[in-house]
Structure 1
Amino acid sequence: MDLRDYLRILRRNWILIVSLTLGGLLAGGAASVLLKPSYTATTQLFVSIQNSGSVTELQQGNTFSQARVQSYVKTVATPVVLQPAIDSLGLNETTEELAKHVTATTDLNTVLINISVTDSSPAQAAAIAQAVGASLVKAIDTLEKPKTGGTSPVGLSIITPAQAPATPSSPNTKLNLIVGLMAGLALGLGAAVLRTTQDRRIRGESDLHRVTDAPVLGGIAFDPDAVRKPLLTQAAPQSPRAESFRQLRTNLQFANVSGNAKTVLVTSSLPGEGKSTTATNLAIALAQAGQTVCLVDADLRRPMVNDYLGLERNAGLTTALLGTADVGELLQPWGDDRLYVLTSGQIPPNPSELLGSEGMRRLIERLEQAFDTVVIDAPPLLPVTDAAVLSQHVGGVVVVVGSHKLKQQDLAKSLNALSMVGADLLGVVLNRLPVKGPDAYAYNYYSQGAVEEKPEHEGRADESLQSDESPLASFVSTFHGEPSRPPGSFLPGSKRNAPHS
């Protein structure tokens, strides 16, 4: 991982990191409040040579004293020193217990000994420190006294008597807060890295590129109103949602620069990723650009296009494939643009066989002759094989990826299924992206072209509706040539079933 990956981890998990950091800070504060305060009293002793003489003798004596000081420091914690202190103060504890509260230290190259005693009572701490210091003076005098008699060559003197401390030595609130803060921060960072490495869901482009190098045709931000208003025409013209589908339309045209993919299959890996709304809105966006578009609902298991557009579903794709009615009689115009919809029809017991049949291939070829673009909404790839079978009859496939829903391994399986049947993957659409944060899909107003220019063929599209030589007019006239057409048949330009918005 590079620096950008770490920054993305921080941005994705900043709430977790801040929460654990504050938790560590609170834990440090709670420890400072709950711990019983203790006090530390200190006394200081000076080690000297009793005999005086020349400067050389004094230097030798000083070296001797420094060498002996380390031994005296270790002597403080022995019963020889502590037991007399216990007896003098009448303490109800053993020398081993008292030794845990007594600390003796010395500074380097000095003859000073510091004795510190910690106790819950400041007065008791001072009394014990003073008693231990006095006991050490007597013990060293006894230990250093020559066996032949005479005085000890070494003398200890208390130069700083112990005093009762005014403030507790622990808990150290400032230190506890700092330690808690740093511990919480370290725990938060560790949890963020662990969470990111273990989370295999696709959250944005960075996760997507770990699975595939396919181009990202567009990103659609999550909109809570999309459940009630899923259509592009129900959003404000300059809204981010409307702009995202216009960008998808533009990028799809660049992905299909050769123009071979007149039929675009829209699918996903799992249900609930938004493939049907993406296919529907893509068809609407293409129609708004002046193209003649046919939207086919080929999801013969859970059809949704008719619900979104408010159209009749009983007669549709399956009706045409079974030969009960011709497709020209089943197309339903929608809206004020050149958008025609072929709903799913009755749900059959064998969807895969119908979609992979020769009749389906011929139907797609006929639609390609009559329309500029055919958009097909297909079932998801992983639960059923319908989309993989149908992808062999179309010019290109667009896979919709639901952000925060689909796992990387599931997308890899879906793309592998398309690759095995030789499908032409045009690109991927990221759906339900967060509006803000590291995974938000940003739009550049100037690079995407805020002003939509009508394609050159738009002017000819009007002529195609009036000219009997155009593919669409020929396609319609073949099945709607009679002046009195049966119920359910529609001519181009008809306003029947137009949306009421």
Structure 2
Amino acid sequence: MDLRDYLRILRRNWTIIVAFALAGLLLGGAVSLFSKPTYTAETQLFVAIQGSGTVQELQQGNTFTQARVQSYVKTVVSPVVLQPVIDTLGLTLTAEELAGKVKARTDVNTVLISIAVEDSSPVQASAIAAAVGDSLIKAVDMLEKPKAGGTSPVSLSVIKPAVAPLYPSAPNTRLDLILGMLTGTLLGVGFALLRTTLDARIRNEDDLRQVTESPLLGAISYDQDAEGRPLVTQHAPQSPRAEAFRQLRTNLQFANVTGTANTVLITSSLPGEGKSTTATNLAIALAQAGRTVCLVDADLRRPMVAEYLGLERNAGLTTALVGAANVNDLLQPWGDDELYVLASGQIPPNPSELLGSSEMQHLIERLGEAFDTVIIDAPPLLPVTDAAVLSQHVGGVVLVVGVQKIKRHDLEKSLSNLRLVEANLLGVVLNRVPAKGADAYNYGYYSKELPSKGGRSVAASRSRRAHPGAAELSSELPREDGTRTAVPWPRHATGAAPEIGASRHF
């Protein structure tokens, strides 16, 4: 992963990182609040060599003193120094326990020794520091005194007496808060990286590219109103959703530059990825471009096209396949453009057998000859084999990938199924792409929807006027023998479908 990938992960999981940081901040505050205050008292000693004071002796004494100071610092926490302190102050501690409260240090190239003592009582901390300083003076005097007698050449003097501190040295509330927030942030970033590594869902184009190099025909952004208003005609003409399907229409035409794939199968890996809405809106977009389009609902398990368009579902594809009616009589026109819909018909007990039959193949061929484009909404690839079987009878396949709905291994299996039957995969459509955030896929150059009328957008109102939905109209479609027959289901526009070639009674 490069820097952009890491930045995308941080943007995607910023709420988790902030939550961890706040938790660390609260934990740091709790530690500071419930910690017992500790006071630190400090005394400072000066080490000198007693001599005549000549220049040579002073230089030698200074070198000697600096060499010895480090030894005196280590002597501070020895029993020789601490035991007299315990005896003098009557402490109930051992020399080893007292050594844990005493710290001694010296700065480089100096002869100063600093002794700091920590205790829960400021008075006792200052008393112990003063007693340790006095005890060190006596211990050094005893250790440095010549065995032949005389005074010690080393003299220690207190230059900074220990005083009782007014404020505790610990806990440091500010430091605890900073460390808590920093620790929480690092844990949040680590959790975000781990979560991303373990999350196999397809989230954006980069995740898609890790699975397949198939062309990305389009990206449909997530619209929270799509469930209630799934059709592009129910939105403003320049809305992001309508523009996305126009872009998909254009890219599909480029993917089919040879013009041999005028029958296109729309499928997905799993249910709920949005294949039916994609197929329906793509058919509408193609019809709006002036093409004659036939939309076939071949999902004989969970048909949705007729419900989206407000058409009669009980007579349709299965009716034609079993020979109960001529396909010319079953096509239902929709809208003001040349869009005709072949609904699913009654749900049969054997969908796979019907869709895999020679009758279905022949029907697709006849529709392909009669229309500029045939869009077929097929069942998902993984639960059933219907789509894989149908893909052998069409010119091309478009695979809809629902963002955050499908995992990489499921997509890999779907692509493998298509390769196994040698299907012509025209490309992939990313659906439900976030409109904002790290995984967004749009450029934001769209006009807003027109002001609403009574809670409905103007585009939606116009759509309802153009497509009344349930108006019973008595229309006729041409039969192969030249006669016309009435269509006994709701229609949305007048006009006749292109004449389908010589029929076969299935």
TM-score by length of 1: 0.89
* Aligned counterparts of 1:74 and 1:430: Cα–Cα separation in 2: 70
Alpha-carbon spacing, 1:54–1:444, altered in 2? closer, same or farther (3 Å): closer
Hey, what does 2:322 align to over in structure 1? 322
* Counterpart position of 2:81: 81
Look up the match of 1:116: 116
2:18 equivalent to 1:3: no
Is the partner of 2:375 in helix, strand or coil? strand
- Aligned residue number for residue 468 of structure 1: none
- Stretch deviating more after TM superposition (237-246 or 477-486): 477-486
Does 1:164 find its partner at 2:164? yes
Deviates more, 1:240-249 or 1:176-185: 176-185
Q: How does 1:109-258 map to 2 (within 5 A)?
A: 109-258=109-258
2:421 maps to: 421
Distance in structure 2 (CA, Å) of the matches to 1:112 and 1:371: 99
- Counterparts of 1:420 and 1:483, CA distance in 2: 44
Identify if the C-alpha distance between structure 1 residues 383 and 199 changes in structure 2 by more than 3 Å, giving closer, same or farther. same
Output aligned runs, 1:344-423, within 5 Å.
344-423=344-423
**2: CA distance, partners of 1:483 / 1:347:** 27
Instruction: Find the residue that maps to 2:20 and give its secondary structure.
Output: helix
Amino acid corresponding to residue 477 of structure 1 in structure 2? P
CA separation in 1, counterparts of 2:437 and 2:496?
A: 43
Say which is worse superposed, 58-67 or 482-491, in terms of deviation.
482-491
Comparing 131-140 and 162-171, the one that deviates more: 162-171
- Deviation at 1:150? 2.2
For 1:296-307, list aligned pairs within 5 A. Answer: 296-307=296-307
Q: 2-side partners of 1:495 and 1:122: how far apart?
A: 99
Corresponding residue SS for 2:98: helix
Which residue does the alignment assign to 1:268?
Answer: 268
Deviation at 1:427, TM superposition (A): 1.0
Residue 481 of structure 1 corresponds to 482
Aligned residues: 468
Deviation of 1:437 (Å): 1.1
Whole-Å separation in 2 of the counterparts to 1:167 and 1:103: 19
Distance 1:171 1:277 in 2: 61
Q: Is the 8 A contact 2:478 2:496 kept in 1?
A: no
Q: 1:329, 1:490 within 8 Å by CA — same for their partners in 2?
A: no
In structure 2, distance between residues paired with 1:334 and 1:91: 97
**Cα distance, 1:74 vs. partner?**
1.4
How far apart, in 1, do the equivalents of 2:491 and 2:78 lie? 107
- CA deviation after TM superposition for structure 1 residue 280, in Å: 1.0
What amino acid is the match of 2:141?
D
Q: Partner letter of residue 15 of structure 1? A: T
> SS of 2:200's equivalent?
coil
Alignment correspondent of 2:96: 96
1:495 Cα deviation from its structure 2 partner: 9.6
1:276-323 alpha-carbon deviations (Å, 9 max, x no partner): 111111111111222111111111111111211222222211121112
Deviation, 1:424, is 0.8
Distance 2:109 2:441 in 1: 67
Deviations 1:436-490, CA, capped at 9 Å, x for gaps: 01211214759xxxxxxxxxxxxxxxxxxxxxxxxxxxxx634473255474598
In the aligned structure 2, how far is the partner of 1:484 from the partner of 1:85?
116
CA positional deviation for 1:29: 2.8
What amino acid sits opposite 2:483 in the alignment?
E
- Give the AA of the match of 1:342: L
Moved more, 113-122 or 26-35: 26-35
Cα distance in 2, alignment partners of residues 16 and 76 from structure 1: 49
Please tell me whether the aligned partners of residues 249 and 285 of structure 1 are also in contact (alpha carbons under 8 angstroms).
yes
Contact 2:17 2:189 in 1 (8 A): yes
**Equivalence for 1:282:** 282
Query: Aligned equivalents of 2:75 and 2:369: distance in 1?
Result: 104
Three-state SS of the structure 2 residue aligned to 1:64 is helix
Query: CA distance change for structure 1 residues 173 and 253 in 2, over 3 Å: closer, same or farther?
Result: same
Q: CA deviation at 1:148?
A: 2.7
Distance, in Å, in 2 between the alignment partners of 1:395 and 1:322 is 24
How far apart are residue 252 of structure 1 and its match? 1.2
Q: 1:125 to 1:480 in 2, by over 3 A?
A: farther
Give the deviation of 1:59 after TM superposition: 2.2
Unmatched 5+ residue regions in structure 2?
Answer: 447-476, 498-506
CA distance in 2 between partners of 1:104 and 1:334 (Å): 91
Q: For residue 283 of structure 2, give the secondary structure of its aligned residue in structure 1.
A: helix
Question: Structure 2: how far apart are the matches of 1:484 and 1:388?
Answer: 35
1:320 partner SS: helix
Assess if the C-alpha contact under 8 Å between 1:329 and 1:489 holds in 2. Answer: no
Q: Which moved more, 1:379-388 or 1:249-258?
A: 249-258
Secondary structure at 1:159 match in 2: strand
User: Deviation of residue 9 (structure 1)?
Assistant: 1.4
SS at 1:348 equivalent: coil
Select between 75-84 and 175-184 the one with higher mean Cα deviation. Answer: 175-184
- Classify the secondary structure of the residue corresponding to 1:225: coil
Question: Structure 2 CA distance, aligned partners of 1:427 and 1:271?
Answer: 19
Aligned AA for 1:20? F
Q: Matched residues in 1 for 2:487 and 2:82: separation?
A: 114
8 A Cα contact 1:40 1:125, kept in partner: yes
Give SS of 1:493's match. Answer: coil
TM-superposed CA distance for 1:3, in Å, is 2.0
Pair 1:144–1:169, CA change in 2 (3 A): same
Q: How far did 1:353 drift?
A: 2.0
Alignment CA distance shift 1:361-1:93 (3 Å)? same
> What one-letter code is carried by the residue in structure 2 that aligns with 1:378?
A
Range moving further from structure 2, 359-368 or 163-172: 163-172
Q: CA RMSD for the aligned pairs? A: 2.2
Are the equivalent residues in 1 in contact too, given 2:334–2:492 (CA < 8 A)? Answer: no
SS of residue paired to 1:282: helix
Is the partner of 1:46 in helix, strand or coil? strand
CA gap of 1:138–1:488, structure 2 versus 1, over 3 A, is closer
Specify the code of the residue in structure 2 equivalent to 1:129.
A
Q: Which runs of 5+ in 1 are unaligned?
A: 447-475, 497-501
Moved more, 424-433 or 179-188: 179-188
Extract structure 1 runs of 4+ deviating beyond 6 A.
Answer: 489-492
CA distance in 1, matches of 2:71, 2:303: 90
Name the structure 2 match of 1:433. 433
Q: Which residue of 2 aligns with 1:292?
A: 292
CA contact (8 A) 1:480 1:491 kept: no
Residues 313 and 224 of structure 1: is their aligned pair in 2 closer, same or farther, counting only changes over 3 Å?
same
Identity of aligned residues (%): 71
What SS is found at the alignment partner of 2:225? helix
CA distance in structure 1 between the partners assigned to 2:80 and 2:444 by the alignment: 83
Q: Which moved more, 1:213-222 or 1:142-151?
A: 142-151
For 1:375, what is the secondary structure of its paired residue?
A: strand
